[in-house]
Structure 1
Amino acid sequence: MARAAQDITPAPIDRAIARIRAVYRNWNRDTTVAQMRSDWDAAFGGTMAPVKCEQVTAGGVDGEWILPADAPKDRAILYFHGGGFRIGSVTSHRDLIAQIALASGCRVLAINYRLAPEHRFPAALDDALAAYDWMLQQGLKPANIAFAGDSAGGNLALAAMLALCDNKRPLPAAAALMSPWTDLAATGASYLSRAEADPIHQRAMILALAKNYLGGEGDPRDPLVSPLYADFAGLPPLLIQVGDRETVLDDSVMLAGKARAAGVTVDLQVWNGMIHVFQMFGGELAEAHRAVADIALFLDRHLHLKAERASP
């Protein structure tokens, strides 16, 4: 008698991994940076979320307001996308940003900061600060702004706050970070301990991206390049989400430990079985939805969004 066929439906996390690999496997040494960026936007761009998108120039930086219905006008999130400072854009991250905007009920300004190798450090940081200054010039108060970012964008959110601290300028109310890349020297033990578990990012790739961002003479331990090496005293509350399969896991774990030691309020969430910036895969992963819901709760706690929406 014939044996019944086994169910070989891939697990949700495997479907997410397959989406990433479908892009990576088409790249080789001859693939241009422009092609990589175009491929990434094509693979992850677009959203069906019920939000309004408005193009804007924020302090000279190309950006986009992502607006859920009835969002308060005096609250906002400034979002920095990931992509190793080499690829990624508002387009590739629009759905993730839209989901955060919807879950929180808060409008989000996302920016296309300049990318390397055409524009190396500190170009991206300069753009992040310019966008924040522009928000303040529009009448938003620092206490009513939160930063958010994933991967290299998490790095940028931290670096921008550190630069503000250095210049004794007002900080945002809080920052939500997803798989933040905080150590461009790649010193964490997880680069070895998670090497087999991580299906995408290996240490050699991370170091190559760091060199692309810095050029030949840059210092990967400069605190504005690698926030892990900074003094965190005075930073606002942080939410850090990271998957336990990531080679960059310790970038988050060490960041949380150092920030707490400096007196910063930190909520570190290590998500079992999850990969780098798993929040992008809401179509595949229930965990992505739960993580975004946690981000929304964190933002509400510090921006008082529900109270603002309830007021007459």
Structure 2
Amino acid sequence: MNRDLPPLETVNQVPSWQARVYNRLLKFGFKRPIQKRSQISEVRKVAAFMDRLAVMPRGTQCEGYLTDGLSCHWYRVPQSCSSKVILYLHGGGFVIKTPQTHGAMLARLCGHVGATGVMVDYPLAPEHPVQQAFDDALKAYERVLESGVNPQQVVIAGDSAGGNLTLSTLVAIRDKKLPAPAGAILLSPCTDLTLSGASVLGNMDRDPMLSASFLAVVRDSVEGSAGMEADPRYSPYHAELSGLPPVLVVVGTEELLLDDARAVAAKLKQSGNRGELRVWQGMPHVFQLLHRVPEAKRSLGECGEFIRQCFGRSPTITDVSRTTAE
């Protein structure tokens, strides 16, 4: 994928001192502990401990619904409007969920936009085939539309493996000729399960969160058949990406998945879609989860502005691809 990478331009020049502190905390509090775990159950215990540290924004209401096998949690903050929805697909390598951490970030994003958040509680691998996560993501979008929400007031967002699900869902919506959402956001996405980007090896020591051992655990947990890592159904980077709504891609320079994000942003642009790529210097994987870090607050604010622009956009406008950076 590297031949299609755009020039590396970053939003910020140097990371804040808070970001540098959190990078060290992540390295010693998350990355190193999971490097010593070879079983997914052990990795989940580390993630669950970190999840308990999350702080939910004041006034957040969360309600869980299970309907016909589809589990979703609806997040509302004081600013939330029921006619605007952020459909969120959480990360965790298809094998982990951290509902407090992701729920808190989604609530903050809803506060920026005045929207209601819907987070899909899709079944995890290896207990369930990874295909169920993709099926549930599309089913959740259909449920949101069935509830009466205008598709042009819906944005789909996801991080890491959830970024994969987000892009795959956009492709499925297009192929099934469903009404398109207003836009989408990919935070530190993993859209190519072949992991062929040079940064996977180049950032192995720099990435404060992800490690080779964790990626091996994920691969072994989700791989259902030989060659599935290059299958466009599971690696949407390899899919035909034309005819999609505007997409914002955000990533940090320290990530193993840096080149994945840059490559998919470039392919979206080459496919005739409108989109933006925001690369943050010195930032780790899905840094928007770190709500006390200035860059996380600023990036979530930019995501909110992108969503507001999508909600205000006429669906008849022809969007022209562009990449922005300060």
Aligned residue for 2:21?
A: 15
Aligned to 1:47: 55
**What is the 5 A alignment of 1:150-299?**
150-203=159-212, 205-283=214-292, 285-299=293-307
Which digits, 9 at most, give the CA deviation of each residue in 1:20-48, with x for residues without a partner? 63244444766753453344233124433
Compared CA separation, residues 205 and 39, structure 1 to 2 (3 A): closer
Residue correspondence of structure 1 range 45-194 to structure 2 within 5 A: 45=52, 46-50=54-58, 51-57=60-66, 60-194=69-203
> 1:234 Cα shift?
0.7
Structure 1 gap ranges (5+): 1-9, 306-312
**Residues 279 and 291, structure 1, Cα contact 8 Å, conserved in 2:** yes
Give the direction of change, closer, same or farther, for the CA distance of 1:102–1:41 in structure 2 (3 Å limit): farther
Cross-structure match for 1:4: none
Write out the 4+ residue segments of structure 1 that deviate beyond 3 Å after TM superposition.
Answer: 23-36, 202-205
Tell me how far apart the structure 2 counterparts of residues 250 and 199 of structure 1 sit (CA, whole Å): 16
Corresponding residue for residue 309 of structure 1: none
Using the TM superposition, name which of 148-157 and 98-107 deviates more.
98-107
Residue 73 of structure 1: SS of its match in structure 2?
Answer: strand
Residue identity in the other structure for 1:109: V
Give the CA RMSD over aligned residues.
2.2
Which runs of 5 or more structure 2 residues have no equivalent in the other structure? 1-15, 314-326
The residue aligned with 1:36 is 43
Structure 1 Cα separation of the partners of residues 37 and 294 of structure 2: 37
Aligned equivalents of 2:29, 2:72: Cα separation in 1:
28
- Asked if the contact 2:157/2:186 (under 8 Å) is kept, the reply is yes
Question: Given the two structures, how large is their TM-score scaled by the length of structure 2?
Answer: 0.84
**1:292 counterpart letter in structure 2:** L
Shift, 1:111, TM fit: 1.6
- Give the number of the structure with larger relative contact order, counting CA–CA contacts within 8 Å between residues 6 or more apart: 2
Aligned residue pairs: how many?
295
CA–CA distance in 2 between the matches of 1:195 and 1:300?
36
Residues 96-152 of structure 1 deviation map (CA, whole Å, 9 limit, x = unaligned): 111111122211001211111111221100111121111111111221111011101
Task: Give 1:271 shift.
Answer: 0.3
Rate the CA distance shift 1:58–1:249 in 2: closer, same or farther, 3 A.
Answer: farther
Find the residue that maps to 1:63 and give its secondary structure.
strand
For residues 59 and 148 of structure 1, do their structure 2 counterparts lie closer, same or farther at Cα, with a shift above 3 Å needed? Answer: farther
Deviation at 1:63, TM superposition (A): 1.8
Measured in 1, the distance between the counterparts of 2:195 and 2:34 equals: 24
CA contact (8 A) 2:35 2:213 kept: no
